[in-house]
Structure formats: C-alpha cells, structure tokens
Amino acid sequence: MAAIITEEKDKFFCEKCRKWMGENSFFTYKDGTKTEMCKECLTMHIDNFDEKTYTWLLKKMDVPYIPAEWNTLRDRIYEKDPTKLKSGSVFGRYLSKMKLKQWRQYGWDDTEMLQEQYAAAAAKSEEEAREREQEAKERFDKGEISEAEYKTMLTVATRHADAPEPAIGQTGQNPGSVGFNEDDFMSEEELGDPGAELTQDDKIFLAMKWGRLYKPNEWVQLEKMYNEMTRSFDIQDADTINTLLFICKTNLKMNQALDIGDLDGYQKLSKVYDSLRKSAKFTAAQNKDEKNDFVDSVGEIISMCEREGFIPKYVTDVPQDKVDATLKDMNNYLHKLVTQDLGFGQQIEDALKKIQIQKEMNEAAENEDYELQDEDYVEYLDEVERQKELDAEMISDGDQ
C-alpha cells in the first residue's frame, strides 16, 4: 500500500512514526507512488555491510541487487568519513544509480542474471584484493612497511570488520546499526506503557492539547514536563503558554534524537530549544532573579528590617506618589505666576478689553440698521495703537 496523500497533495503520512511529511522524505516506487514509510523509518535497521538487512528493500523497490555497485557506493562514503556511513546512507544513492540508463530497464527479477554476468569480474577483483592484503600483511609483519601503508592496502570491508564497535550514541550510531544490541537494554514489555491508564476522555484532551500524532506515552512525557514548568515559573498569558507547548515538544524530540544517536538532529533541536526558553524567559537564572524581587516569608521581612532599619510610622514630608508630586509642582507654578509676574494682571485686563471690543463689533455687524461712523474707526485704531504701546513697554520691562 502506497503512502496516504493529503487533500493538499503535498504531504504524505508515515505509517511507522505517524507523521505527515513532504514528498522528499519518502522513496518513490517505479509506478510513481510513495513508500508507506518515510526514508528514515524504512532504512533504520540497515547494516550496509550485511546484505540480508537491505536486499528485502531492494526487492520491495523492484531494483536489481548488484553487489559490486552497492559496495562501490558504500566504500566511497566509508573512505571519506566512516562516521557518515549511517543506516540509510547507501540505499538512497543506490536507488538513484539504478535509475540511470544502464540499469533502469532491469528489476529485482533480473538480479540473478546480472550477478552471474558480473560474477567472473567480481571473483577476480576479490581474489586480487585478498592477494594484495596478504602480501601487505606479510610485509607489515616483517617491518618492511608502516602501519599507515598497511591499512591503506586493506579493503573497506576488512577495515570495517577489524574496527572496534563504536559506543552507543557515537556519531552515525542508531538502533539497528552495527554495534547496537537491543537485548542489552530493558524491553518495552518490561518497562510497561506509561499511557496504559489513560481513559478515552484523557486521550481526547491530550490529543487536543498536544496533537493527535503523538503516542500515549509521549503525551504523558509532554504533560509531565508541562506541569513541572508551570510549577517552576509564573505563567499567566496565552502567548507564554503557547511557547511552553513548543518548548515541551522540542524537548521530547531532542531527547528522542539523542537516544537514537542522531547528534546532528539533536544539535539543531537544542538551538531551537534554547532560543524558545530564552525568548519566554524560562531559565533558572531568570527564575532566580524574579524570586529575589519578592518577599515571601516573615523571616525575610524581619531580616530586611534588621538590615535596613525600621520604617517610621508616619512620613508626611515627602510626596507619596507621582500624582502628589505633580499637583505640588502645578501649585508652585501658579503661585509664582500670579505673585511674581507683575505684568500678568495687565495682560489679563487687556485680553478682556479685546474680547469686549470684538463682541461689540460682532453685535454691530449683526444689526443691519446700525452703520459705522467715522468715530468708530478712530476709536478702534486708537485702541490698537494703545495696545502696541503697552506691549512695547512690557517687552522693555522684561529685558531690564
């Protein structure tokens, strides 16, 4: 069964990890459909040096298995950096190579024929490689060549077989790769299912909160961290709660990446995790600083009093708040304005006269029977000149 396609036709569902991902995360069958599992899940148990772990996948993808071509791709990666030879490193490259014109007309059923065709050349190549290795070993034992030269003469398969098994968690190591023995660890049956006691209502609630693509035991882990964080930090607004949900999810994925030895994925997730925690101020240092701003016990109050001294019962000689200080400043300004600015009263009186004159002129203009006389114009112009003189005197007094 091919991978399920969403309505948007740009996401595919992995039956193993239960996630929706882009089309580049899946292999493509010859008929154009996508695989049921993503690339990572499909190849997670491949040992690139053991053909029994990947030939079933080649049959599934309907491509022939030519050992020489597989080994060439494998050895090229191993020679460059052995730690980069992961479970899925060769498989995808091999599928791409089988799409070349030289091989694309062949399928899995042609495997036996192609292997027979290349059998003689492969046998000759292996025999020559064994002879070179034997000769190099004899010369190395006699001290004729250095260890570096001796290792250079060895094939990748021999060097890999002689290499010590890497420690779990080393780069390139994951469950299903060489050196990982699941029998050495507690099985899932012995561990039990942390989500077994969840009721149907619990599952619905957790699915709405965290997303339905998580397993019940993952919901339990997410909820556990969420509750611990809410007890450790003061979380009030919706935006901070939403950030906390992302932090919990990232922490879960970060631990999963570390458990399977995916150090590259762990490092990327770790950067995202740190960025989220800092943006929401979910750090131990921030939590400590915030706690230091509050007095939450009688002992702290007594200690503060003994250290700083007791506060007097009544303190009335200082403003109690910003409003009091503002009112006091306004009263002082008004007092100085009235008592010290000697021309202020005259300014008020002149302004009132101007208002009165303007009012009389407006009333006269509204009365159609009234006509302005020459005396009116003379009076108005005289008043304007008098105001100019007063303004000049005030300016002169201010300069002195």
Cβ contact 215:233 at 8 Å:
no
How far, in Å, are 41, 87, 128, 164 from residue 184 at the CA level?
Answer: 22, 20, 40, 18
Q: Looking at residue 291, what is its pLDDT?
A: 53
How large is the average pLDDT for residues 127-144? 75
Kindly tell me if the per-residue pLDDT of 342 is higher than 70: no
Q: Is 113 helix (H, G, I), strand (E, B) or coil?
A: helix
Q: Name the least confident of 7-21, 240-254, 287-301, 346-360.
A: 287-301
Kindly tell me if the per-residue pLDDT of 170 is higher than 50: no
Cβ contact 21:150 at 8 Å:
no
Q: Name the least confident of 150-164, 293-307, 335-349.
A: 150-164
Cβ contact 239:247 at 8 Å:
no
Q: Looking at residue 369, what is its pLDDT?
A: 56
* Rounded CA separation 75/193 (Å): 41
Q: For residue 62, name the pLDDT band (cuts at 50, 70, 90).
A: very high
How far, in Å, are 47, 91, 331, 358 from residue 86 at the CA level?
Answer: 8, 10, 81, 96
How large is the average pLDDT for residues 347-369? 76
186-232 tens-digit pLDDT: 555 555 667 777 888 888 888 898 888 888 888 888 888 888 888 88
Q: Looking at residue 21, what is its pLDDT?
A: 85
pLDDT above 70 covers a percentage of the chain that reads 74
The angle at the Cα of 240, spanning 236 to 243, to the nearest 5 degrees, equals: 150
How large is the average pLDDT for residues 7-19? 76
Q: Looking at residue 8, what is its pLDDT?
A: 45
Q: Is 283 helix (H, G, I), strand (E, B) or coil?
A: coil
Average pLDDT, the chain: 76
Among 15, 34, 16, which Cα is nearest to 24's? 34
Q: Looking at residue 171, what is its pLDDT?
A: 40
Q: Is 37 helix (H, G, I), strand (E, B) or coil?
A: coil
Instruction: Report which of residues 286 and 323 the model is more confident about.
Output: 323
Q: Is 218 helix (H, G, I), strand (E, B) or coil?
A: helix
Q: Name the least confident of 134-143, 258-267, 278-287, 288-297.
A: 288-297
How large is the average pLDDT for residues 302-323? 67
Alpha helices in the chain (DSSP H): 39-42, 55-60, 67-80, 91-97, 111-141, 147-153, 156-162, 188-191, 200-210, 216-232, 238-259, 263-279, 284-292, 298-308, 322-340, 344-366, 374-399
For tokens 């030939």, what's the residue?
55
Q: Which of 241-250, 255-264, 377-386 is most confident?
A: 241-250
What is the value of pTM for the model shown? 0.40
Contacts by residues 55-58 (CB-CB < 8 Å, ≥ 24 positions apart): 57/91, 58/94, 58/108, 58/111
Domain range summary for the chain, segments of one domain joined by +: 23-184, 200-291, 344-399
For tokens 């030895």, what's the residue?
261
Which token pair is 352? Answer: 């009132």
* Rounded CA separation 179/168 (Å): 8
- Classify residue 73 by its DSSP letter: H
Cβ contact 269:257 at 8 Å:
yes
Kindly tell me if the per-residue pLDDT of 43 is higher than 50: yes
Q: Looking at residue 179, what is its pLDDT?
A: 46
* Rounded CA separation 217/251 (Å): 15
How large is the average pLDDT for residues 59-67? 90
Q: Looking at residue 180, what is its pLDDT?
A: 47
End-to-end, the C-alpha distance of the chain in Å comes to 101
Q: Looking at residue 256, what is its pLDDT?
A: 85
Query: In sequence order, which residues have a C-beta less than 8 Å from that of residue 107 and are 6 or more positions away?
Result: 30, 62, 63, 64
Q: Looking at residue 172, what is its pLDDT?
A: 42
Kindly tell me if the per-residue pLDDT of 177 is higher than 60: no
How large is the average pLDDT for residues 115-141? 74
Among 75, 45, 68, which Cα is nearest to 57's? 45
Which token pair is 167? Answer: 């420690």
